[in-house]
A and B are shown apart, each in its own frame.
Chain A
Amino acid sequence: MAGYIAHRLLWSIPTLIVITIATFVIIQLPPGDYVTAYIAELVETGEVIDAETAAHIRHEFGLDRPMYEQFLTWIGGILLHGDFGLSLDWKLPVSELIWDRIGLTLMISVLSLLMTWAIAIPIGVYSATRQYSFFDHLFTVLGFLGRGIPDFLLALVLMWMGFLYFNFHVGGLFSPEFENAPWSIAKFVDLLSHLWVPVLVLSTGGAAGLLRIMRANMLEELGKPYVETAYAQGLSERQVVWRYPVRVALNPFISTVGWALPALISGDVITAVVLNLPTTGPLLLRSLQNQDMYLAGGFILILSVFTIIGTLLSDILLVLTDPRIRHS
Chain B
Amino acid sequence: MQDETILEINDLNICFEMREGTVNAVNGVTFSVKPGEVLGIVGESGSGKSLSARSIMNLLPRNATVTNGSVKFRKNDGEVVDILAEKRESRKMRELRGGHIGMIFQEPMTALSPVHSIGKQIMTTLNLHTDLSKKAQVERAADLLAMVQMPKPMEMLKKYPHQLSGGMRQRAMIAMALSCNPSLLLADEPTTALDVTTEAQILDLIMSLQDELNMAVIFITHNFGVVAEIADRVSVMYLGNAVETASVDDIFYHPKHPYTRALLQSIPRLDGQKRRRLQTIEGMVPDPFNLPTGCVFHTRCAEKMAGKCTSQIPELTHFENDQMARCHLHQA
Contact = CB atoms under 8 A, between A and B. Distances in A.
Interface of A: 224-226, 228-237, 244, 247-248, 321-324, 327
Given A226-B112, A233-B176, A247-B115, A324 B98 contact: no
A89 B75 CA distance: 82
A231 B177 CA distance: 12
A323 B162 CA distance: 9
Interface string B107-130: 100111111110001001100110
A228 B115 contact: no
A23 to B, nearest CB: 40
B94 A324 contact: no
Contacts of B114: 226, 248, 323-324
B308 to A, nearest CB: 41
Contacts of B124: 230, 233, 235
Contacts of B98: 232-234
Contact of A225 (B111, B117, B128, B176): B111
Given A233-B98, A235-B128, A327 B111 contact: no
Interface of B: 57, 59, 89, 94-99, 102-103, 105-107, 110-117, 121, 124-125, 128-129, 160, 162-163, 173, 176-177
A274 B116 CA distance: 47
Given A226-B110, A233-B128, A244-B116, 11 more contacts: A225-B105, A226-B112, A228-B111, A229-B103, A229-B173, A232-B59, A232-B177, A324-B115, A324-B160, A327-B162, A327-B163
Contacts of A230: 113, 124
Nearest to A326: B160
Contacts of A234: 94-99, 125, 128-129
A232 B102 CA distance: 7
Contacts of A321: 115
Contacts of A228: 59, 105, 111
A233 B172 CA distance: 13
Given A228-B111, A323-B160, A233 B117 contact: no
Given A235-B128, A323-B160, A225 B110 contact: yes
A271 B255 CA distance: 78
A164 to B, nearest CB: 47
A235 B163 CA distance: 25
A303 to B, nearest CB: 33
A261 B149 CA distance: 49
B94 A236 contact: yes
A322 B89 CA distance: 29
Residue in B98, B114, B115 whose Cβ sees the most chain A Cβ within 10 Å: B115
Given A232-B98, A235-B124, A224 B115 contact: no
